[in-house]
Amino acid sequence: MGSSNWESFFIANGLLSFHAIAAYFNNDFLIPRFLLARHYLFYLISLLLGILSVCFPLMIFSSLVITNPEFESNLWSDTFFLFLVINVLFSVILTMVLKLVKQWYKDQKTTTELKKMQLETELQFLKAQINPHFLFNSLNNLYALTLAKSNAAPEFVLKLSNILRYILYESNQGKVSVRTEMDHVKDYIAVERLRLGDKVKIDVDIDEELKDELVEPMLFLTLVENAFKHSENVIPKDRFVKIYGKSLFDGFRFLVENSYSQNRTTDESGGIGLRNIKKRLILIYPNKHDIKSSAEDGVYRVDLIIKL
């Protein structure tokens, strides 16, 4: 286009600046105002007028700067003008595609972050329902012991403080090891043994050699709490709680059985805690858990398997 390579380079960049004007006008004005607002006819008309308004000065600029005789004879032809329109249109379409892809990626990232925030908010809400529920039951237990002036009250307070420390601090720092969760399950069982004495038969079979896989806190502990709470209406000689924890090759199985009054419905036997656990499992372990609950012949059973 010029008498030398450098001159041709600067001329090409000058021509490119007109393409840039059309592209930025489309990306920063036409797309937000018309295309994204779904005014498609206005967008197409405005885009065509914008390209034509750029091509006329581009044609004049070309005639002034291009000194190559092979080009000069064609600068004012319809063919050259159409050539300019097609080239500018190509630049506009290319930059528009890049902008829309970038916008789509940004929207996807925003959507993902919003879903993550929603998930975290929902999990915090479910935990907020669980912790006061647990604390309310524990304080009732402590109140019963103090009324009876039981010697077990001090040990009960010590065990309870360990559990509350776990709920308030450790469980809010993310996932915990299965071993840690089971240690606090055992603390809770010890608290219930102190409170209930011989009023309920408690059988516990939890692996001693537990792995250190991480798990969402307060899942198993809430199941144990439910088992004790919902067996309260059963006469002492028939009242029992069985707890079974077993490490699997790729996860952990936790089985809880408790006696329950057959006057209760299945939903009442499970309570708020079980519903919250199921919601948390769906959010945290989608397609990586299996939980089954049943109530039959005075026995309520919850069987949970989590892949870790």
Q: Which domains does the chain have, with CATH numbers?
A: 5-110 (no CATH), 150-307 (3.30.565.10)
Where helices occur in 69-213 by DSSP H, the ranges are: 69-72, 78-147, 153-168, 178-196
- Taking Cα atoms as reference points, which of 200, 248, 249 lies closest to residue 224? 200
CA distance 213 to 252: 9
Residues 6+ apart with CB under 8 A from 201: 239, 240, 241
Q: What is the pLDDT of residues 97-144, one digit of tens each?
A: 999 999 889 888 887 776 776 666 665 655 555 556 566 767 777 787
Contact 58/15 with Cβ under 8 angstroms?
A: yes
pLDDT bracket for residue 269 (50, 70, 90): very low
- 3-state helix, strand, coil split of the chain in percent (to 5) is 65, 15, 20
What pLDDT, in 10s, does the model give residues 43-82?
Answer: 999 999 999 899 888 888 887 877 767 776 677 777 888 8
Instruction: Give the position of tokens 């090891």.
Output: 177
User: CA Rg, the chain, in Å?
Assistant: 36
Q: Which of 56-60, 167-171, 199-203 has the lowest mean pLDDT?
A: 167-171
- pTM comes to 0.57
- In the prediction, which pLDDT does 217 show? 80
Q: Cα(33)–Cα(35) distance, rounded to whole angstroms?
A: 6
Among 94-108, 211-225, 259-273, 277-291, top mean pLDDT goes to 94-108
Q: Do the beta carbons of residue 269 and residue 251 sit within 8 Å?
A: no
Q: What is the pLDDT of residue 124?
A: 63
pLDDT at residue 157 tops 60: yes
| Residue 200: per-residue pLDDT | 85
- Worst-scoring range by mean pLDDT, 12-26, 46-60, 159-173, 205-219? 159-173
Task: Give the pLDDT score at 20.
Answer: 92
Q: Which two tokens stand for residue 106?
A: 């940004």
Q: What is the pLDDT at residue 254? A: 94
Choose among 229, 243, 137, 156: nearest CA to 194: 156
Pairing, β 201-206 against β 289-296: unpaired
